[in-house]
Amino acid sequence: MAFTETYETGQENIKIVKFSQRKSYYLYVYDSVTRKVGYASLSSTNLDECKKGWLKTYSEYIKRGGSITQVRKTAIIPKLKEYVDYQYERAARGEIKERSARTYWERVRNRIIPYIQFKKIKVIQELDRKIFKDYHHYWLKQGKDGTTTNDAITTFNHFLDWLIEEEILDAGKKPVLKKTRVVKNFKTEKNPAFTGKDWLKFKEYMYAYEIGDESYDSEVDWLEKKWYRRLFVCWVLYQFFSGNRPHETSGLTFGDVTTQEYTLPNGKKSLRGIQHIARDTKTGARTSVINGHCITRIINHINGSGHPKSGKYITDDNTPLFLNPHTGKSIHSETYRWHFKNVLKLSGLDKKGYTPYSLRSTHITYMLLRGTDVYDVARNLGNSPEIIRRHYDGIENIMKSDELLKLNKHYYEDERLKAS
């Protein structure tokens, strides 16, 4: 490691030095007989203190037989959690988005800690390159793709850099964790759209899941569970009719959505919804049109009888659309992912690769089946027409069959939504 600062002590072969990736100063000791170099931390960032107290550190260094200070073993999982706390502190200071801090936590909790426990790594000093050589293979066996594992590798490398800054890990001993090369094959369906029959089946079990038939210690607990499940149903329908990315919906507030009544060519009244997606999302700010009934369903639920334990929540334009009454913040999409998996298991659809992002894919399928122009779909979703065509070119085959078109349109309609 290179020195950024070097100071003489008045003694030959003994110097005070500063490393580029360390906060404290170190004592540099060169043994002219063995031609070996040793270092001992002066445990201070104050140069004047180091110049006055270096002799005491040197004496302790000699008593240890000229060896470097014994490395203190540090438990890794508590440090990972401390690292996540540090990211939330950065979010509180405005250095990063709170959504980014949550992402760090999700990767640590869901991708890093399980692997650390699988490899039985208990302390930071046990980390090396060999331990992580099968990291990608481990997660691929769990059904995770290369992009997901690479994201976790990025976070873990950040964690290692943080350990170096905190002087817990020696920069020279940092294991280099390489990402795997991801070959994108657009013919392989990732986050596939629900087929008409599967979507119908999913909704059937979702509405049953909303009511629930489990037993609870008290009626209040049961009502609270039902309240959150009903909000989950609202979220699924909103994702389907908006085509939003999950984090886009998490950022919506009551002030971002409105409804307008309009008259159809056949004279019937309908409800149009308008949403304003924030600028800090993946594709920037945009305004898009959605089914207005899914907006009123959410608003009626939040402003209705109130949460069974928290009571009514006074909403304004800044209130998150998918509100957690206990915190006043938006419920994280990971919570809905958990409910989503539960419904998939109940319906027997958990082996078909459906994910919450499939709701976006299904929305596009639904819009194309209705004959909506590709450019209009792309503009409404914040995508390019090329991406819409690339990922959903199979829809053209479906649209060529009038019989199948009618069948699928029937499956994707939801009369219950209008009645809610």
Match 């959903």 to its residue by tokens. 392
| Between 332 and 16, residue with greater pLDDT | 16
Domain ranges of the chain: 3-63, 76-173, 196-419
Tell me the fold of 196-419.
hpI Integrase; Chain A (1.10.443)
What's the pLDDT band for 341 if we cut at 50, 70, 90?
Answer: very high
What are 366's two structure tokens? 């639904």
End-to-end CA distance of the chain: give it in Å, rounded: 66
Please say if the pLDDT value at position 343 is more than 90: yes
pLDDT in tens, 219-228: 777 788 888 8
Q: Please choose, from the candidates 81, 3, 10, 4, the residue with its C-alpha nearest in 3D space to the C-alpha of residue 37.
A: 3
What are 192's two structure tokens? 């596939």
| Between 159 and 415, residue with greater pLDDT | 159
pLDDT in tens, 391-413: 555 555 544 444 444 444 444 55
Query: How wide is the angle at C-alpha 302 spanned by C-alphas 343 and 356, nearest 5°?
Result: 30
Across 48-52, 172-176, 205-209, the highest mean pLDDT is recorded for: 205-209
pTM value is: 0.57
What are 83's two structure tokens? 């690292």
- Look over the chain and give the mean of its residue pLDDT values, rounded to a whole number: 79
| The predicted structure's pLDDT at residue 70 | 40
What's the pLDDT band for 35 if we cut at 50, 70, 90?
Answer: low
> Which positions ≥6 away from 195 have C-beta within 8 Å?
none
Q: What is the mean pLDDT of residues 169-192?
A: 64
Distances (CA, A) of 299 to 160, 166, 309, 365: 44, 47, 19, 27
Q: What is the mean pLDDT of residues 289-294?
A: 86
